[in-house]
A and B are shown apart, each in its own frame.
Chain A
Amino acid sequence: MSSTEVFAVADVHYRYLERFVALAGVSLDVHAGERVGLLGANGCGKSTLLKVLAGLVHPDRGTVSGFGKELTEAALEDEQFARGFRARVGFVFQSSDAQLFSPTVRDEVAFGPLHLGFDGAEIEQRVDDVLALLGIAELADRAPYQLSGGEKKRVAIASVLVTNPDVLLFDEPTAALDPRTQHWLLDLVVELHRAGKTIVCATHDLASLDQVADRCIVLSENHDVVAIGPPQEILADVDLLEATNLVHTHEHRHRNGIHTHRHDLDHHRPSISANWEADELRTHSTERGTPTS
């Protein structure tokens, strides 16, 4: 095991509610300081895999270790290990609503440090700093349910960053955000990576893949790993993307005929045309319809 290894997952199987398969023999590793993108269609097990990495759910079969120690239920019941692990691993959930459970934004951001045993003055300082960093200082006394989707995401990230974790797990961070907030978030991820954080990001947003990942891990709809490689390589393998339902062949009617082409799942995003992946994909499209006039 190399010294830079953060997570090592070996042949992990997991069934949701002991019935529905979510992971079927997944193996991968994550090294310190790298950005890993977990790719896969809805329901392929990305979220579950992140929860396994975060030590929140435990596999039925196979092993997962974090920072060189196996993440079992017993290990995480050990107070010292649990504290050390929770402080080092930050998890931004897909649903901000689930993550923002405190009465106010300030309480929310203070929750992590409080439960990890930071002292009072330091908590105050850190909360103020991180609220300022994410530009949400004026929301401090608001209740989470009063916030917009973008504001909620900022608060969720603040509540994770406040403990200064080494590893950040993002579950579809850009889903349901407006383009401006998406760009802000992608910039933040780049910034955090530059600051030395390890980042694991589950996504099916191919357009922003190169910003969040140095290495991609593709999960199939059979809940196993089908490819690992740099984003350019993965995005170029259109057959793979189609097999994993990350792009689809799509037929639609224009005023002047029918044509068929492949889309990535976010083809409706206004920012897409600026990204090279999209152009790359479009070059693979095949024209079938013929102009009528």
Chain B
Amino acid sequence: MTTPEWLTRPETRFGPCTCCGRRSKGDLVEKTLAGSSRLIRSAMFSADMAARDGFLQRTDARVKVVATVALLLVVALVHHVAVVIGLYAAVLVLGVVSRIPCRFLLTRVWCFVPLFTGVVVLPAAFSFVTPGHVVVPLGTWFGTPVGLTSQGLTTAALVVTRVATSISLVVLVTITTPWPRLLAALRALFVPRAFVVVLALAYRYLFDLLNTVTDMYEARKARAPRDHDVARSRAFVAATAGATFGKAHALSEEVYLAMVARGYAGQATAIDRGRIACADVYVFAAAVTIVVAAMGVDHVLH
């Protein structure tokens, strides 16, 4: 092995290793790295929350899943904003008794619901989209008064509160339930076994693939500064996506062999532990009460 001559002298063409004040931001490499680390952090946060000793953490996952679906249905079925807000308050209380920081639940929802749902739904408040009784007139259009309608405002409020409540509920339940327990609950309830097995495997290897992607992007970052050429950047993203597929396929083959080596013959089984405790029955009863109460109040307001 002979070392080429250029490798033995220092490279001088790149200029000094000092700052010039120009910053590059919004790079796709940075964004993907940030997204991936956010995901892993959020998974770790969930694991921490699930390990706390709180009300929902003590509740059986099967009860939680059934109650969550029932509550989501109620949130979707009631017609009055007040009832939805009441249910939202109940979710926050559940969070507090489960020792989930209230700030987390609030920021998790209100940082992005107004941004996405709010902006999307806002035009619906106007008479152009939702005709009806104009409560905030904003002038006339060919003789008809236009502005915010009561129907429009109601529907916008209804959608925003519904979205916020549903997301809070799902987030609350998922972060108080360890993922394996949630899987066991799905298996125990109505979800086909094959689907749950695939779900479990997919979730487990998701982090492996994310690590692969992170490594590739970090290597890219370490090698060269941001590339402003869109076509070249796109080719890089496509190459990493293609290479990740190669890794995913090789891994699936290896995992299959590892499963077969330990007796897997196409029928997936898993250990099911835990039985419904007395407390879980009370929780379930409480959930049913909330469901019935919300529906009742909604009916009375009608």
Contacts and interface: CB of A to CB of B under 8 A. Distances in A.
A109 to B, nearest CB: 10
B180 interface: yes
Interface stretch (A80-88, A196-204, A235-243, A268-276): A80-88
B254 interface: yes
A145 B204 contact: yes
A104 interface: yes
B263 interface: yes
A89 B257 CA distance: 13
Contacts of A95: 254
B215 to A, nearest CB: 13
Contacts of B260: 56, 86
Interface in A141-180: 141, 143-146, 159-160, 163
B30 interface: no
A143 B181 CA distance: 12
A102 B200 contact: yes
Interface string A208-229: 0000000000000000000000
Given A101-B201, A145-B208, A163 B262 contact: yes
A101 B204 contact: yes
The A interface is mostly helix, strand or loop, or mixed, namely helix
Contact of A143 (B204, B259, B264, B271): B204
Interface residues of A, number: 40
Interface in B262-292: 262-265, 267, 269-271
B119 interface: no
Contacts of A160: 262
- Of B47, B205, B263, chain A has the most CB atoms within 10 Å of the CB of B263
Nearest to B1: A251
B195 interface: no
Nearest to B253: A98
Interface string A73-114: 000000100110011011101010111111110110011101
Contact of A110 (B47, B259, B265, B271): B271
A100 B205 CA distance: 10
B258 A98 contact: yes
Interface of B: 47, 178-180, 183, 200-201, 203-205, 207-208, 251, 254-255, 257-265, 267, 269-271
Interface of A: 51, 54, 56-57, 79, 82-83, 86-87, 89-91, 93, 95, 97-104, 106-107, 110-112, 114-116, 120, 123, 141, 143-146, 159-160, 163
6 contacts: A83-B263, A103-B180, A115-B267, A123-B271, A144-B204, A145-B207
